[in-house]
Structure 1
Amino acid sequence: MAAANAHYYATRDPFGTSGDFITAPEISQMFGELIGLWCADLWDRAGRPEVAWVELGPGRGTLAADALRAMAKAGLTPDVHFVETSPLLRAAQAERVPAAHWHDGVDTVPDDRALIVVANEFFDALPIRQLVRRGEGWHERLVACQDTLFLPIAGKPVPIAVLPEPLRDAPAGSMLEISPASVTVMQALATRLTAQGGALLAIDYGHEGPLLGETLQAVRGHGFANPFETPGEVDLSAHVDFTTLAAAAQAAGAVAWGPVTQRDLLGQLGIDGRATALARHAPERGQAIVADRARLMGEMGTLFKALAVTHRDWPTPAAFGA
């Protein structure tokens, strides 16, 4: 999955109607603007410390451009750091945010100030492992290649201790997905936040787990595809286990908030008022703005969830309070 997605993102711009899928920042500027105001509000209530703004997997740079514009109006103009490995996407990001600094991984982002980290549809693309119950034991699902055909196969048994205790006796055929790569990234960032101060906001489709079931999917041309056909030519993703991410952050000494739904997040951040203001300013786009708001808040608004992580001395993030 890691190898396939690395090739996929390095060789194309997959976003928008002409690509394979569309993300929330590409649907409407409202999304990025509200995320920017979330960051600026938290920074302001934390005492306006010196911060670096970090985005993981920033796509075309659309979210960053909209968020930075909104943050600047609130007085926050941080250095911008993108964690991105695709040369093609880096070029697109440079057009929208020319002053950005690029990183291949989270280990090189600034370590001399607080961080505000945004990860929109990032964790879903990190590689997963699938564990399948066969007979009396659990096996890792592997991928074999026969001629030019990729096939899922059962590997050697895995120790029962790696399974969450409530799921160990699941029926034959049950599947559990785990993402050690996601845990590693979250622990690294939470360790930074604990040492340096700051906050992280992760928005993705997922669940509060652990849950049984397969969520691995492939998307091409805005439709579903076979994950084992044409690897590197389709987008591979899986649902995010927010419970595990929150636990990883807490284990590193940070505070985890949520998850809350995208609908609740954007609603509490004021999307209705922003949509009204945009429609008033550009009445010819009024119907399109209403449609964009409905898309962000409808089915997408419940499928997508948001998790916040903060330094223990930072205030409660907006939309995550009691």
Structure 2
Amino acid sequence: MTTELGRLIAHRIALTGPISIADFMTEALGHPRLGYYRRAMPLGAEGDFTTAPEISQMFGELLGAWLADRWLTMGSPASVRLVELGPGRGTLMADALRATRGVPGFHAALDLHLVETSGPLRTAQQTALAAFAPTWHEHFDEVPAGPLLLVANEFFDALPVRQFHRTAEGWRERMVGLAPDGTLRLALAPGLTPFASALADAAPGAEAEFSEAGRALAAAIGARLHQDGGWALIIDYGYDSSTPGSSLQAVRGHRGADILARPGETDLSAHVDFAALAAASGRPTFGPVAQGDFLRRLGILERAHALKRQASPEQGRALDAALARLIAPDQMGTLFRVLAMGDDRSAQPAGFSDTPSDAT
């Protein structure tokens, strides 16, 4: 059983030939009417996945403190674009802004911009952030010029990726085509890929994956930081350095699924290559570091202790569970990485070293 979007993709392939996995992801996630992020509420129990801000208020609070600190190091500009890519239900930003309301002048300087394509999520963000009069955009490049503070939590993992397989003759791209019965299937392109120069040499049988969209966005963010000043913080799951293999996965109803099954109703994501983002940005970068280490350095243990002092025993147990989920190595603490982009004039930002006074 397929979906209306699946039938449209199959019809496109029948007319024009196989498409790349990146093109398939673009359609499956972003089709103007039927794409996953256009039509569904993907977060929470009724959706397909849960993100860190939904686990505990501590996550957004600490990121808010980090952003306010970066504003201060920028010289406290009177106006700054506060941008979140993929803000979910607005939970992270609401927590960040609540935690920073005591920073003199910070809120008065903020001009809030949200990059979001989902109608249902925009509605939730409006409810959570109405007091801050956000402006919404489909793409980052629509954000007006000006000093920038940007956060992207679990955004880059949803950007399209290409996949490749190393044959005896060389690298060939994995494509989405049609099986004899008209259903979608994966197959290798018949010829060698022109992207081979971007791939490391490897033995036959090796797999590779990269995101043109991710690198292009990192470059655009870096260009804005160079032009207007500011900082960007990227949190996602992935690799510190470019790693062979394929990581594209599908999730539906909080369970793994076939990446080609039910397009438009299934979440697709891939591990983020942080080294590639850092290189593409063209800016001084810090990290990536493990999310658990980052949050500990920002004071999450102390914040959890403070919250527990005012909590019931049941609330205390929930806080302990949330804390473990965010920082434990066997949960989100190690797989999720944190990367900052900024300038070469400031000391190393908080969270990236146990000795934050050391500049990098």
With normalisation by structure 2, the TM-score equals: 0.85
Match of 1:95 among 127, 138, 144: 127
Identity of aligned residues (%): 49
Q: Is 1:72 matched up with 2:96?
A: no
Q: Tell me by how many angstroms 1:10 deviates.
A: 1.0
Larger Rg: 2
Match of 1:136 among 163, 169, 178: 169
CA contact (8 A) 1:39 1:71 kept: no
> In 1, distance between residues paired with 2:182 and 2:237?
32
Q: Is 1:209 matched up with 2:241?
A: yes
CA contact (8 A) 1:55 1:83 kept: yes
CA contact (8 A) 2:112 2:135 kept: yes
Q: Residues 234-291 of structure 1: CA distance to partner in whole angstroms, max 9, x if unpaired?
A: 10000000000000112xxx21111000001100000011111111122341111111
> In 1, distance between residues paired with 2:182 and 2:101?
52
Q: Residues 158-200 of structure 1: CA distance to partner in whole angstroms, max 9, x if unpaired?
A: 1475234xx31x1222111010100111111110001101000
CA contact (8 A) 1:149 1:229 kept: no
Q: Residues 97-137 of structure 1: CA distance to partner in whole angstroms, max 9, x if unpaired?
A: 111110111111120x2100000000000000011111221
> In 2, distance between residues paired with 1:227 and 1:44?
44
With normalisation by structure 1, the TM-score equals: 0.94
The aligned counterpart of 1:2 is 26
The aligned counterpart of 2:310 is 281
RMSD: 1.4
Matches for 1:1-322 after TM superposition, within 5 Å: 1-6=25-30, 7-49=35-77, 50-75=79-104, 76-77=106-107, 78-98=110-130, 99-111=133-145, 113-146=146-179, 147-155=181-189, 156-159=191-194, 161-164=196-199, 167-168=200-201, 170-250=202-282, 254-284=283-313, 285-298=315-328, 299-321=331-353
Q: Residues 188-229 of structure 1: CA distance to partner in whole angstroms, max 9, x if unpaired?
A: 111000110100000000002321111000011111111011
Gaps of at least 5 residues in structure 2 are 1-24
Q: Residues 120-157 of structure 1: CA distance to partner in whole angstroms, max 9, x if unpaired?
A: 00000000001111122111111013455211111131
Give 1:126's aligned amino acid.
L
Secondary structure of the 1:204 match is strand
CA contact (8 A) 1:46 1:315 kept: no
Give 1:195's aligned amino acid.
Q
> In 1, distance between residues paired with 2:165 and 2:296?
39
> In 2, distance between residues paired with 1:273 and 1:172?
50
**Segments of 4+ in structure 1 off by > 6 A?**
none
> In 2, distance between residues paired with 1:145 and 1:26?
39
Return 303-312 or 140-149, whichever deviates more. 140-149
How many residue pairs get matched? Answer: 315
Give 1:131's aligned amino acid.
F
Gaps of at least 5 residues in structure 1 are none
CA contact (8 A) 2:82 2:149 kept: yes
Give 2:39's aligned amino acid.
T
> In 2, distance between residues paired with 1:281 and 1:110?
42
CA contact (8 A) 2:250 2:266 kept: yes
> In 1, distance between residues paired with 2:82 and 2:343?
15
Secondary structure of the 2:226 match is helix
CA gap 1:301/1:144 in 2 versus in 1, 3 angstroms: same
Secondary structure of the 1:80 match is strand
CA contact (8 A) 1:197 1:314 kept: no
CA contact (8 A) 2:294 2:351 kept: yes
CA contact (8 A) 1:219 1:234 kept: yes
Give 1:293's aligned amino acid.
L
Give 2:276's aligned amino acid.
T
Give 2:220's aligned amino acid.
A
CA contact (8 A) 2:249 2:268 kept: yes
> In 2, distance between residues paired with 1:158 and 1:151?
19
CA contact (8 A) 2:284 2:343 kept: yes
CA contact (8 A) 2:171 2:196 kept: no
CA gap 1:109/1:160 in 2 versus in 1, 3 angstroms: closer
